[in-house]
Every structure is written in structure tokens, then in C-alpha cells.
Amino acid sequence: MQTLRLFRGSNKKGVIFTALLLAFSITPTFAQLFNVGGPQPSFGGARVYVSPGAQMYIGGDLKIWDDTLINQGHIIVDGRFFNDDQCGGDGNPLPGNNGLFEIKGDRWVNNGTFHSGTGKVLFNGTDQFQDIAGDSITRFYDLEIDSGQIKRLEMIDAVVKNNLELNNKEFATENEMLFVTNTNHTAITRADSGFVSSLVGGALSWDVEGTNNYVFPVGSSLFTGYKYRPAVITPNDNSPRTYTVRYVNSNPSPAPPNGPGFDVTLHDDSICFINPDYWYEIKNTSNNQSALADLSLTYDAQTEGGFNGIARWDLLGSPQRWNSLNSEFTVTNFITTPTNYILVTRKAWFNYDPNNSAYNLSFRYPYPPEITGAVELCADDDTLYSVTASTPYNTTFTWQVTNGVISDSSSNTEVDIIWNDVDSGYITVIETVDNLNSFNGSCPSFPGQLAVDIWPLPEAIFDVDYQYNNGLSVNPDGLLFTNELVSYLDESTNTQDWYWDFGDGSTSIMEDPFHTYSDVGDYTVMLVTTSPDGCLDTTYKDLTVSEGLIIPNVFTPNGDGMNDEFILRNSNISEFKLEVYNRWGNLIYTTVSPEVSWDGRTTAGIEAPAGTYFWTVSASLESGGEFTTNASDHPFKETGTVTLIR
């Protein structure tokens, strides 16, 4: 074996080796051992310093014997890492290991002092196992595992002070503890299949502070194969605390030494069955063990049926059994991959007793189904009612209706009911859950009921009138233009309240509303009427807002408020110009705005006498369409006459 050693002796104060180049490489014919210090103190003291930006490649093992290695750059170790003295400084005066250690061998052995600084250790070897071992706990800053297979702790705990990156690998703590002390809820990351596994006595511990979701990425590759079943803890306040989580991939029922003896057939009366496939140990190991936090456990909806509760094995009870956490539970889709996972959450759990820490998913007897649908309705109205299943699998609902007829029951969770012409009706529903994977029985709920009051139906009717041209309410041409007033006339019966939707995003609750449309197009007007008893009826009417230009041939500016101005009805017009001439061809009025009307006065403000006047118009449509006619009886003209009557 070829060896490069830096020895420590008494004849020199020390030698500092600094890798300042892009890479310092040891590329031997045989596997090499790179020693810092050594068992033969004949060359003087040795301190190895890899500077920022530098890279050191070691083709074999790296061993720190009796002096110091400081990594500010990037050290790649093809073999194993051994620290029997000091790796990195505490900052006074030597800096910590602020660089990257890339370890490809099968062991990390720390028997001395490892000062992580702000650096990272990356385990990316291809061996079946990469072990973290030694007599001293390694306190990593950033720790990442990648490549190869299982990374594990060997008879010693480990600490991660900043970020733990699991990628797609299993980190097996075995019987030891893995502590993450960074309280950021994103301190632990993973890809689709990374997780932390633990045996008896081991667990993943995480210091938390804040009200975010802390996802403990626990799982196992033992017994029944790979399972990732994270636990999520969401503190209800910002007080600091520490939680430990261990996932156990086996039935908790067998007695020691094959299991803990937490029999899944023993449970309180609210529980139908307990998950027999896996369970959790969850503890609050800090002083405030009763601090409130939401607790969520997960299951795979595609392979494990369904659960709707969480239970804890009560070591202190008599008899000992699984007891529900006694509250409302929520069942939701999991917030991260895999997407088919389901969260069962107990809000504000208060008793994370480290001495009573066995938790499991349960299926509670369903609550009486909550029936949703109208409770005040009209005779002969076909009404939809629905219920929500407590689990997505193997759920059936039994419906019974009094004083009504089920017209459609094809959905199981929804039925259409036509009610008889009586004062009241009743719906009764029972939910039954059957054969959820390893449970081969039925879990029926207590009946859910809904009472219905039946009332007479209103009839929604309305008419439409257009108003334009200084208050004229008759629209003989049948056209509606933008910004013209539409009058809606209610003719409904047995109606107390009105809701209008004009089809352009505007609404009204007036009985006889007015409305204008700012854009051309087709609109559907909806009227919903409500009777004094709360019954509804709906009707619709279609309107078309056209584009075009209509020029009148007479106006009467006599001040009576009717047809006092020469108004050109228009819609969606651009590049407009109007000129008005008297009989001698003199220009007496002009405008380039289609919204401006002529009041019968000259540009000098003098009243024009009664008579016939000539006009010219140039205009185009904003839509760019051909401006030939806006209605069969209103062709567009460029010139014409208008009669002024006083």
C-alpha cells in the first residue's frame, strides 16, 4: 500500500499543507491511505488546510491521526473517513469545515472532534451500506445522502444542525437517534422515495418552533417491503419543543419478543378496527409535553383501504387498549408526493407523553351521515341531496324517504327526490363500510336524518323594454345598442325577492331594475325569484347588443324633454365625423364624437330655424367589419336630411 503521511514531531512547530490549486490529487496504482499526523512522529507536526475553491481527491481512505484537517474547499474520498483527532476548528482561531466532504467509502468513523462549520457532508458511495460510526457523535451542519443503498447509524447517534437531504435513499438510524436541530420546517428534504427508518430505541428527532407543517419522512424497508408513511406535526403556537417519530412496519399485536403486545382487537367502543399493518412511536421530549399540535398520520389510499381516526395504546388504562384521541378528525389528500397518500389529522392533540407513545390509524364507526340539500323547497321540485363518505373505499349508503320519491339513485352518495304535495318530508341515511383490506366486517353508522319543509313554488316572469333618444321608451326598430338603457319589468307571482344576472357580470336585487351594456354581443339575462317561504324559480331571456348607426330624420328642440336633440344612435363606432349644413350649403354644426348630439343651435350658439337640414357622416366599426347595414330596415347612409321642428 502506498501512503502519503504528514507526521508530527518535536523538532518543528508544524507544517501547513494548503491545496490552492483547482484540485489536489492522489492517484496511486493501489488503494492509498492519506494520513494527517500518524503513528510515526518523525517528520514534524502536520496540519492540512484545503482552501476555498480548491479540490482534494483521495483515491483511498482519509485518516486524521493526531493533528488537524480543515476543509474549506471540496474533499473527495474514494475510501473511508477516520477522525481520531480534530477535523475543523471551533472558529477561535481555526475555522470550521465550511467546505464539502464527499465520502464514497462504506464508513464515516469519528473518534475525535468534528467541527462542522457551515459545510456539508455528502455520502454518495455505491456500497450496500454506508455507516456513520465512532466513539464521538458527529454534529453535521448539512448532511446529504445519495447513490448506493442504505445509509445508517452504527451504535451512535448523529446530529444535523442545518439541512438533511435524503434524496431517494433510506437513512436507517437502527437503534440510535438522528437529531435535526434546525427549527425550519423545510430543514428535511427528500425526493420521491427518500425516508428515515428506525428500530427499537431509534427515532428521528426534530426541534420545531412555529406553526408550519413539520413532515417527518419516516418509513421502512423491513418485513412487508418498502413503505413511506410520513407523520406530520403542526404546532398550534410558536413555543419551541422537540418531537421524535419512529415508524414501525409490522403488526403491533404480537407479544414480546416478537412485538410490543398492543393487540389491535382491543379498542374502545367508538372504533371499528385498528390498522394491523404498521404503527408509530411519537413523543414530545421537551419540557412542554402538553403543548398543542395537530397530529397527522398517513396511509396509501390505493392499497390500504381507508382510515378516519387516530388511536393511542393506553399503557396507563385499565384495561389497556387502543383509545381514540376523542375529537373530530379530518381526512385530506397529502400535501407532497406520493399524491395518492391520505392524511388523517387530529387537531390540537395535547398529550404527547413520551412514556405513552404508541399511535396508530383507526377506523371509527362512521358518524351519522350529514345530509346536504334543500330543507325548504317546493312541491313537485326535483331536488338533489348528497352525503360524503368517510373513506374512499367500500362505502355504501342506504336511503329511505318519507313523503317523497327517489327519482335517481345511481350515484349511491347522491339522490334526486321529488317531494309530494304535503307539508313536510324526511330523509334517513345509514353509511356502511365493508371489508377494508385486512378487516373483513362491516361498520354501520347511526342513522342520519334530515327534515324537509315543503312550500308552494313561485313563478318567475319578466319582460324587457328599451329606452333611448331622450326618454323615448319605444324601440320600433327592435335594436339594442351599447350604453342604451334597458328596463326589466317583473311580472312574477308568489315572489318576495329577486335576483337578476344580466349576463355581463352585473347583478341586481331590485324588482324592476335598469341596466346598460358596454359591449356588443349576445347576453342571457337570468331572473331567480324567491317566494316568501324560500322557494326558487328561474327564467331566462336572450338579448343581443348590436353594432351600427341609426340616424333619425326629425327632431323637436322645443324643451319638452322629448326628442329635443338630433341624436345618432350608435354602437361600436370609430373614426366618426358628422357635419350639418343649411339649405344654402353653409356648415352650421360638426362633431367627431358619435356620443355628442346636436341641440339645434349653430356653432355660434344661435337657434337654427325650423326646416330641413343636410348632413354628411363618415364612420367605421371598431370590430373592423364591413359597415353596410345594421338592420334590414336601417341601411347605413353617408348623406341625408333631418327636419328640425320648433
Q: How confident is the model at residue 379 (pLDDT cuts 50, 70, 90)?
A: confident
* Beta-sheet strands, E only, within 93-190: 100-103, 107-110, 113-114, 120-123, 129-133, 138-140, 142-145, 150-153, 158-160, 164-165, 170-172, 177-180, 188-189
Cell of 290: 402538553
Question: What's the pLDDT tens digit per position in 398-407?
Answer: 999 999 999 9
Cell 458527529 found at: 138
- Predicted local confidence at residue 433, as pLDDT: 82
CB 266 within 8 A of CB 322: yes
Question: What's the pLDDT tens digit per position in 324-374?
Answer: 998 778 888 876 666 678 899 999 999 999 999 999 999 888 888 899 999
- Mean per-residue pLDDT for 161-176? 97
Tell whether the model's pLDDT for residue 12 goes beyond 70. Answer: no
- Predicted local confidence at residue 46, as pLDDT: 64
Q: How confident is the model at residue 467 (pLDDT cuts 50, 70, 90)?
A: low
CB 216 within 8 A of CB 251: no
d(CA 557, CA 628) in angstroms, rounded, equals: 30
- Mean per-residue pLDDT for 554-579? 88
Q: Which residue has the higher pLDDT, 184 or 622?
A: 184
Dihedral sign, Cα of residue 519, residue 521, residue 524, residue 525: positive
Residue 594: which of 545, 530, 551 has the closest Cα?
Answer: 551
Cell of 266: 382491543
Is the pTM higher than 0.85? The answer reads no
Q: Which residues pair with 132 in a beta bridge?
A: 108, 153
Q: Which residues pair with 266 in a beta bridge?
A: none
- Predicted local confidence at residue 367, as pLDDT: 80
Peptide bond into 93 cis (omega under 30): yes
d(CA 65, CA 84) in angstroms, rounded, equals: 5
Q: Where are the alpha helices (DSSP H) in 133-235?
A: none
- Predicted local confidence at residue 33, as pLDDT: 53
d(CA 376, CA 387) in angstroms, rounded, equals: 18
Cell of 48: 492540512
- Predicted local confidence at residue 37, as pLDDT: 57
Contacts 24+ apart (CB under 8 A), 141-145: 141/96, 141/97, 141/116, 141/117, 142/118, 144/120, 145/169, 145/171, 145/194
- Predicted local confidence at residue 16, as pLDDT: 39
- Predicted local confidence at residue 443, as pLDDT: 87
